[in-house]
Amino acid sequence: MRPGGGDHHAHDPAADQLPLFVGGLVGQKFLEIVEGHILLTPVRTIHERLASTIATLCSVRPKSGFNPMPKIFIDGEAGTTGLEIRERLAGRADLTLVSIAPQQRKDAAAKSELLSSVDVAVLCLPDEAAKETVALCDALGERAPRVLDASTAHRVAPGWVYGFPELCPRQAEAIAKAARVANVGCYASAAIALLRPLVDAGLIPPDSPLTINAVSGYSGGGRQMIEAYESGAATAFELYALGLEHKHLPEIMAYGKLTVRPLFVPSVGNFKQGMLVCVPLHLDALPARPIGADLEAALAAHYRGQKHVRVAPAPASGRLDALALNGTNDMEIFVFANEARRQAVLVARLDNLGKGAAGAAVQNLALMLGG
């Protein structure tokens, strides 16, 4: 029924933007405004429309954006990183953890069906296995979940967002919107955290010949190394990757903005968790000839306001405990400088299973879920 008689008001274009159901009950009918016209619609018709709309909404599972109870599948939850992620997520009421039966882990059809039912798949797998799961997701098309890959397989791959939120000002936003996120490597996150702000600030040229030294707890070496250390079969300390082909180097170069491949010498100590990563510098070899305070100021400016990465004063003792941040998702950055010798050492301290792996994954997952 259209209004007739009396004063006639001009059509207000803004009325076209009103929701479908506006007004109230008039007898057994509902008064609504549609495209600027007043209509009287039977209440039964309104109920039928609502029922149809609700049924449609309930039949569609959103794959992105806010979901009040997202489903998370940890593919490889029995491994070191997978177990750590599951432990950090356990007991949370704002998400649902989904598992695949052990006998179906290598069943592509069963895994595809599960992947199509979840919102985010977190991959804690060897590189080749991670690629296989991503291929299953590709085959699902619009039914595919978002992917957070903790392997090395996709860290410098096109179409993937690097999962280090503190990398640059818009990185956290990029992670939040991404369909595919590559979680950081433990050594790489620390090396990049030390170098990227100084390269961006012009204090370290991208073509500098750099050396990166590091020590990690044995939990980063996988099940075989863990068993060797915990059984007493392993040595107390060892250097490794002396073929100078460590798998974290590509991401260190890509996201540290380096054009010359650094020398990277990692090592393992007889402790389960904890990590120190160091970059020694000859200050007079840098074009800007900075002092230690310049390096510290640039790093502090980059990480100002960040929750999980902070620049800390270098202790006067000249000593650092690799285990100090175990159980956290934090990273501390230090600048040790000897101005008389014109030398400095940049140091990052973190838990290799925290900010270097599972903690970083949980942080990235929170961003992807809108947290």
pLDDT digits (tens, 9 = 90+) for 242-270: 999 999 999 999 999 999 999 999 999 99
- When pLDDT is cut at 50, 70 and 90, the band that residue 42 belongs to is low
pTM for this predicted structure? 0.81
- When pLDDT is cut at 50, 70 and 90, the band that residue 5 belongs to is very low
Q: pLDDT tens-digit profile of 323-367?
A: 999 999 999 999 999 999 999 999 999 999 999 999 999 999 999
Residue 23's nearest CA partner among 35, 36, 10, 32 is 32
Catalytic residue positions, numbered: 186
> What's the CA gap between 315 and 299, in Å, rounded?
17
User: What order do you get walking across the sheet with 96-98 strand by strand?
Assistant: 96-98, 71-75, 120-123, 146-149, 180-183, 161-163
Q: Would you give the DSSP letter of residue 363?
A: H
Q: Cβ-count burial of 25 within 10 angstroms (0-12 exposed, 13-18 middle, 19+ buried)?
A: exposed
Report percent pLDDT > 90 for the chain: 77
Q: What CATH number belongs to 186-351?
A: 3.30.360.10
Quickly name the fold that domain 71-184+359-368 has: Rossmann fold (3.40.50)
Mean pLDDT computed over every residue of the chain:
87
Kindly tell me the sign of the dihedral angle through the C-alpha atoms of 81, 86, 87, 88: positive
Where are any strands of DSSP class E within the chain? 25-26, 29-34, 37-42, 71-75, 96-98, 120-123, 146-149, 161-163, 180-183, 211-217, 237-239, 263-269, 275-282, 309-311, 331-338, 343-350
Residues forming beta bridges with residue 216, ordered by sequence position? 268, 275
337-352 burial: b if 16+ Cβ within 10 Å, else e: beeeebbbbbbbbbbb
Q: pLDDT tens-digit profile of 115-164?
A: 999 999 999 999 999 999 999 999 999 999 999 999 999 999 999 999 99
Residue 136: partners with Cβ closer than 8 Å, 6 or more residues away: 108, 111, 112, 115
- When pLDDT is cut at 50, 70 and 90, the band that residue 91 belongs to is confident
Mean pLDDT of 216-223: 90
Residue type, 334: F
Q: Considering only 32-41, 132-141, 201-210, 343-352, which range has the smallest mean pLDDT? A: 32-41
pLDDT at 67: 57
Decide if pLDDT at 66 tops 60: no
Domain boundaries defined on the chain = 13-58, 71-184+359-368, 186-351
pLDDT at 179: 97
As a whole number of Å, the CA-based R_g of the chain is 27
If one counts every other C-beta atom within 10 angstroms of the C-beta of residue 12, the result is 10
Number of H helices, E strands in the chain: 10, 16
